[in-house]
Amino acid sequence: MNKKLLALLSVLFLCFLTVAFQYVEVLKLELVKAYDASKPVNGHDWSEMQCTEGLCVTDDNKVGIGTSTPGSKLDVSGAISASGNINSSGNITAVGDVCGGGACLSQIASYVGSQPLVMNVHNQAACTTAGGTVVPSDVSFPMCKFSASSCPTESTSNGTGLWTQYKSYEAYGPTTCYIGSPGGCYGDSGATPCTTGSTEFLNNPPSPPTCTYCAGSSRPCGDYGCCVCYSSTCTATRTAIGCY
């Protein structure tokens, strides 16, 4: 074999190696892309990604233990045991009891509910049972706040008597008054409703806000003459009251 032919074959072989190397690199990149698009993430293995009831990681980053359809960031179907603290910036919802530090939430709730309100007629559990809210008072014991104009009239469980207003704790809310007078000045200037202001929930709050409205009207000057409006005072109604 002469030198020219040998040189030509050498060049062709180098060209073949270069093309083959480039093809392998391209193929390797495509395989890496395909693998990255389908491989499990965050350290999970393939069996976990199948979303069985044992452990499930969904596409929207929800984790289920004991369930294949987690509805929260972490959804556990079954009992949870922890030897350390449980910290959460959101809500923790449990069907069963939650215990820790030697006490369960049910025990704490029972203890809190048994604590008396002011005057020791009802306890805190009776307040919530009657539809009220336990709120601070001017003494060490709380009172029960009802979103109503008066205290409940019936006695409830966990109590020994009727509900009674505690001191003068109350609040007044906006109230709208208007009474039209058929055949009078309905719709005329002055024959309009009014809405009162409101007060905060306090002991001895300011007097209930009032406003003036047209309670009736007439046309003493003829059907289309002057209009007389009989003014009346609208007083805000009580919207909250403190009871014991």
Q: What is the pLDDT of residue 45?
A: 56
pLDDT for 183 equals 44
As separate numbers, helices (DSSP H) first and strands (DSSP E) second, the chain gives: 3, 14
CA quadruple 118, 119, 124, 128: dihedral, nearest 10: -90
Question: Highest mean pLDDT range out of 128-132, 161-165, 224-228?
Answer: 128-132
Q: What is the mean pLDDT of residues 65-89?
A: 77
CB 67 within 8 A of CB 75: yes
pLDDT at 182: 44
pTM: 0.55
Other beta carbons less than 10 A from residue 99's beta carbon? 13
CA distance 215 to 237: 18
How confident is residue 35, by pLDDT bands cut at 50, 70 and 90?
A: low
Give residue 79's identity as a one-letter amino acid code.
A
Q: Is the pLDDT of residue 173 over 70?
A: yes
Mean pLDDT of the chain: 77
Stretch 42-46: mean pLDDT: 55
pLDDT at 239: 98
Contact between 131 and 146 under an 8 Å Cβ cutoff? The reply is yes
217 CA to centre of own chain = 48
pLDDT band at 66 (very low <50, low <70, confident <90, very high): confident
